[in-house]
Chains A and B, each alone.
Chain A
Amino acid sequence: SQTIHQWPATLVQPVGSPLSLECTVEGTSNPNLYWYRQAAGRGLQLLFYSVGIGQISSEVPQNLSASRPQDRQFILSSKKLLLSDSGFYLCAWSGRDRGSFFGPGTRLTVL
């Protein structure tokens, strides 16, 4: 069966510090991968998605970037965090018409 891992579960970072969140998927190959952000009490905002290694589509211009160095690895990064980057970051994989399956998420607080 497929599983998706995200770490860390929670993170507190100062403004201006860098960020690296990692997501890995097991049990499937060539998945579509997604990064979402959810602000408190709000819906899911699609940040990036990837249909293959090295292929990244960005949905929202901002100070975040994503990379897919391996088929089942998806990384979300920032060089300098802003207060507005606080939120619940969710990685997901999609089996095409089977819907998306989410990792447990990382709760980021930028102070």
Chain B
Amino acid sequence: RKEVEQDPGPFNVPEGATVAFNCTYSNSASQSFFWYRQDCRKEPKLLMSVYSSGNEDGRFTAQLNRASQYISLLIRDSKLSDSATYLCVVNEDDMRFGAGTRLTVKP
């Protein structure tokens, strides 16, 4: 079983749509969680941390469900510029990345 698993995608949505990604993890002792964005042929960049109480940054909302061991990312009112691959990360000392979910937002 993979330690971090993501929705396989790809997601193709129209502008303005709401899209959600989920990511499950296997280690119940995991403490830190993050979402990253990776543009084509570029390095991943930190999008947002995921806090236990859930957190929001503009159109982006991240949530953590420890009981079910998953994290989620919700993007509202999606823009063309949101097109990218979104990666979840679960951290102990080794940062474990999910395989990523590709999102394409179309006009």
Contacts and interface: CB of A to CB of B under 8 A. Distances in A.
B98 A43 contact: yes
B99 A42 contact: yes
Interface residues of A, number: 26
Interface string B85-107: 00101010111111110000000
A94 B98 contact: no
Contacts of B87: 43-44
Contact of B95 (A94, A104, A105): A94
B89 A100 contact: yes
A31 to B, nearest CB: 12
A36 B94 contact: no
Size range of the chain B interface in the assembly:
20 to 34
Contact of B31 (A88, A92, A97, A107): A97
A44 B97 contact: yes
B95 A46 contact: yes
B89 A99 contact: yes
B93 A32 contact: yes
Contact of B46 (A42, A46, A100): A100
Interface of B: 31-32, 34, 36, 41-46, 49, 87, 89, 91, 93-100
7 contacts: A43-B98, A43-B99, A43-B100, A44-B44, A46-B94, A99-B36, A100-B46
